[in-house]
Amino acid sequence: MSDLVLTDVDADGIAVLTLNRPRRLNALAPDLRDALHVAVIDVMAREDVAAVIITGAEGRFCAGGDISQMVQPPIVQGRMRMEKTAEVVRAIANGAKPVIAAVEGVAYGGGLSLALACDYVIAAEDARLCASFVNVGLAPDYGLSYSLAMRVGAARAKRMCLRAIEMRGAEALAIGMVDEVCPKGETLARALAEAKGYVGRPPLAVALTKAAFARAPSSLDEALRTEVDFQSTLFRTEDHKEGVDAFLEKRKPVFRGR
């Protein structure tokens, strides 16, 4: 396991992935990006993990791409780089476990994109968030053109990207860009508290609930078709039977992911 991303799984089954490149503000150089991809794939596959938190070392979330390593690659290599970037986002968004971003310090460019790829975003009150791509002659990546628009609306998202508008945590909360704010230094504690809410939930139902939203249906009919597919599968699981039995017997269910 790479020391660029530290992985810790506690007794409750909460995995904390820490971006560990603090001298570069945890900027997403290719080696850190690849290490994060491996770490996310690993924790998503673990049966003892119920939820995942992504945070940054030393009070800094992620400054985005590492500008010192930005070169002009040939077109084919540039596309390969972006395909690897896309795989990181897919691993988070399509993974079976809920993912929480704990944002301290800066979340610029790809760092903001990484945070918004998560299911729940907690930011410090003084965190600085900015879709800063245009400042270095680039357009959004890591899925931001989708995730930011989903949270704040397409028109506002476009303006924020075109003008590279910086927001503090409280401002971001007011427009729905993040889900929660807390005092500086407390985001990880709040993320752990939020993650505990997923512990003990039926893993298959959680995974398919995430998958249903990841499909982003564009119509009621698409949503209904997804629900038919997923619910008919869940009807046949041991977890569904256990949930019904526990309700009728007035006891706490014990879900096993089967």
Interval 91-100: pLDDT, tens:
999 999 999 9
Domains with residue ranges and CATH for the chain = 5-196 (3.90.226.10), 203-248 (1.10.12)
Percent of the chain with pLDDT over 70: 96
Residue 67 has pLDDT above 80, yes or no: no
Say which residue the tokens 């540039």 belong to: 78
Strand, coil or helix: 82: helix
pTM of the model: 0.90
Asked if residues 36 and 17 have their Cβ atoms less than 8 Å apart, the reply is yes
CA 15 to chain centre: 13
What tens digit of pLDDT does each residue of 207-248 get? 999 999 888 778 888 888 888 888 888 888 888 887 888 888
How does the average pLDDT of the chain come out, rounded? 91
